[in-house]
Structure 1
Amino acid sequence: MSTGGLALVALAIAVGLVGIIVPILPGGLLVIGAIGVWAFVEGNAIAWVTFAVAAAVYLAAEVIKYTWPVKRMRQAQVRTSVLVAGALAGVVGFFVIPVIGLVIGFVAGVFAAEVVLRPDLRRAWASTVHALKGVALSVGVELAGALLATMAWVIGVVLTV
């Protein structure tokens, strides 16, 4: 692949990494997609093994991203219905206040749902904090998986040059 092609793949990966933190794009899929395009264009064994490693690492991170935070929230007794209410409010918030509205809407939705279910403000705030920690953990795990996939790609590029 030419230097320009590598730069475009690197740019797509960088945009994907930012997309994980700022939920506008499907960041992780963009990272894996860019690595997949690189592997397709390179077309050699090293490129395909690199892609397989990157995809496996990212897939493992995706599984962990959905299981680990859920387990922690169950231990903290945060109900699924509360998280659904927070997610719906987050989506509405995203369109009302672009980008930061997602977080504001999620926090407001979780807190309001907890207050409705359990009219204890301290308990509602504790559940909101646990839900926020779960979301942060989820984003962190996805980012770690995408960064590891990116490292695999860099190693693959070095090996194919």
Structure 2
Amino acid sequence: MGVWEILLVGSVILLGLGGVLVPGVPGSWLVWAAVLWWALKDPQPVAWWVLVGATLALFLSQVVRWALPPRRLRASGATPRMAVYAGTGAFLGFFLVPVLGAIPGFMGGIYLSERLRLGRGGEARAALRQAMRNGGSSVLTELFTCLLIAGAWLGAVIWG
């Protein structure tokens, strides 16, 4: 697989990661489809293992999301700006504290967004709790799974 094709797959994965944060965009399916395309174009054993792992991870993610409360983030006052802060925090956290840093990064992004909007720490913590209860945990589950898949793909491309 050529460099341009790998960059295109990476771009679709990044688009999917952003799509997780946007209601109505099938972000996790974009990430999976990009990995599928990569595995079909580069039929190495590691590519197939990444695809199998991605499929299982997304399936488990969907099961967990089904058990969590439905997304009602708009009703709780979530804004697109909050999604950008949460996504950026999760992305940075994922790489700064490998893998598990996505969780505090996501929550820290929501807190920072609300702190800037509301101006007080107590109100920002209450808004963070409300956002997580109203579907933030569902978004976090899907985003964390997609970040794991993206990390596995990136590792396979670099070291595979």
CA distance in structure 2 between the partners assigned to 1:24 and 1:4 by the alignment: 29
Structure with greater proportional helix content: 1
CA distance in structure 1 between the partners assigned to 2:66 and 2:134 by the alignment: 10
Structure 1 match to 2:12: 12
Which runs of at least 4 in structure 1 moved beyond 3 Å after TM superposition? Answer: 129-132
Paired residues of 1:35 and 1:51 also in contact (CA < 8 A): yes
Structure 1 match to 2:144: 144
**Structure 1 letter corresponding to 2:47:** A
SS in 2 for 1:43: coil
Structure 1 match to 2:155: 155
Larger Rg: 1
**Cα-Cα RMSD:** 2.5
CA distance in structure 2 between the partners assigned to 1:17 and 1:148 by the alignment: 11
SS in 2 for 1:52: helix
**Structure 2 letter corresponding to 1:30:** L
| Residues 93-132 of structure 1 mapped to structure 2, 5 A cutoff | 103=74, 106-107=75-76
Structure 1: tracts of 5 or more residues without a match: 71-82, 88-101, 109-128
Structure 1 match to 2:36: 36
Cα distance, 1:46 vs structure 2: 1.3
Paired residues of 2:76 and 2:130 also in contact (CA < 8 A): no
CA distance in structure 2 between the partners assigned to 1:55 and 1:149 by the alignment: 9
CA distance in structure 1 between the partners assigned to 2:48 and 2:134 by the alignment: 34
**Structure 2 letter corresponding to 1:5:** E
Sequence identity (%): 28
Cα distance, 1:130 vs structure 2: 5.8
CA distance in structure 2 between the partners assigned to 1:61 and 1:40 by the alignment: 23
